[in-house]
Structure 1
Amino acid sequence: MGTVHDDDPLLTIGAFALRARLSPKALRLYDRLGLLAPARVDETTGYRWYRADQVERARLVALLRQIDMPLARIADVVGLPGADAAQAVAAYWAEVDERRARQATLVAHLRDRLSGRRPTMFEIRTCDVPEQTVLAERRHLLADELPRWIPSALDRLTRAAAECGGIAGTPFVAYHAEVTPDSDGPAEACVPVTDTRAAEEWAAANGRGSGAVVRVEPAQRLVYTRITKAQVAHPQILSAFDAVEDHIAREGLTITGPCREVYFAEDWDAASATDEVCDIAFPVGRKGATG
């Protein structure tokens, strides 16, 4: 809080509130949040006094609150020198702009979905996938963690596949439950491998530290649609999932396992926004079919 000298001019909370253009209630809140402590507090009455040189900090806190900056970040900004504080505010606002852009895209998706419009037409296809052994890494995570986790997990599993006879199929990510900003899945990155025994030996030796396991995917039929790199982004990808699910319902099929994103692009970074890079797929069976 700093040293208060006897000759420092102190203002009552009412006088300070007028000078800072804030209410006493707001000043008490800032004190409680640790953003602006009074220069002196009467131990008996609890009455607050402020220094005149605290006015600028009080006004800054109020302005940062008006742009919805989180309290923890406000505490950081008000403790920085002017140029650094300006950079911190600019960085925060860039994040706000990015978030609003994503939200605007999501709003457009919601309007189309709720009104029954389907601005993008998806070609629905079917394929049969044989039984395959996969190296898999499962993780509970939220939607904003997926773009970082998916490529790193598939890269780890692809490198491990070299010790398991090599890659035997297209890598994919299976979703065993919803992954959203509020729901953490889990999601499972999978790489098919050639040699089941070698994979089991590798997992026994390395799986505990890496989190990777070996399992056998049964033979199954997939209903899927192929999407471009631009459509992989959220929420565009949701339209692809909806299109496949709608087709499955219309055809009288039932979903028999977790949905998946099948990543077949040979060089993701080199792919353009219009290049097809991924399949959105659901394993299916006929309603009422048994074993």
Structure 2
Amino acid sequence: MESDLRSIGELARDSGLSVSALRFYDGAEVLAPARVDPRTGYRWYAPEQLADARLLARLRRVGLPLAEIRAVLGAVPGSGAAQRLMDEHLRRLEDGLVDARRELSSIRRLIDQRENPMSTTPAEYRFTVPARQLARALDAVRFAVGGDPELPVLSGVLFDLDGGLLRLVATDRYRIALAEVPVESVAPVGSASVESVSVESVECVPPVGRAVPAASAVVPVALADAVRALLGPAEGAVELALGAGTVHVAVGGHRIEGAALDHDYPDYRPLVRLEPVHRIGLPAAELRAALVSAATSSLPSGPHGAACEVALLTVDGEGRFAVVAPGAEADGAPGALRVAVNRDFLLEALPADAPGQLVLELGGPITPLAVRTADRPGTFSVLMPVRLPA
């Protein structure tokens, strides 16, 4: 009955949302009123809408994006869809907290250097990693190093020591490659009183106030190539030292060192957190053959302003994957997906040393796609899709 309806002011008071917020969510098709007065335009809400309004207020407080708020409120009861969205958002928040802790640690070091320029020097760490795995990591990211003279920071490989892992990162803005190498031991340089720390004792997310070995350096591509040549087929361990603007590498009685690029590398972590809709497992050789044999279309102005050959990756309504010509007819079935990519970029992202299974992660036509090897989940590439002319 109309007498049971709440006015917009009453719903605002009882739910914790403001009147302006309720008007916004009506316009955004998130929470529409049960009745709108045709003469005055005044909004009225049904009693059962109070629960939705209170849920909406809490979803807003935790920063859930608008599209996901709409999905939560529209989820079929008992389907589990709303709970899955909450789990995904919680993972994003936890990842953001890890990033915030890491950034605050860096900020504290910068503040120390600023306030005590004579007594504080950047942290430098010496650590060891397996030679074979470092060589494979360099091979996995080298193709993505940028060459734009306007962005000199991208003309190197980021060596990022983070607790028990060394991450190598390279990007040219259109693709990014990341590889992980396990760290065997780590210790501060020039601190004789501090023994090497076993990586088993290093936590990924330490309690507040506890120091975790962390250092990074942007290694110029020429120096990275020299390190790779030094490694050759070497076995055993490689000793590295990062920090204070320099890079030192020693293996098998040979040593190489050089200056790091004096630039802040872009924060790569948010770029590699993907939420794919489809995960396609297939042999690397099969994907390579499909890309080579499939018809492509030439895009006159692709990434870097140069022409590129575009291939179309498709997933049909039943989840079957294929590489087709860009002009192929679209599958209109629910769940079908079409993603256009720079064919040569995707070929370069396929690991040369991975004859086995790949995992291709696809999220949407304008969502980055990832290429992973089944046995090395921390080593993967992310590519931006290509927009085809209308």
TM-score (norm 2): 0.36
Structure of higher RCO (CA pairs closer than 8 Å, 6+ residues apart): 1
More helix by share: 1
Larger Rg: 1
More strand by share: 2
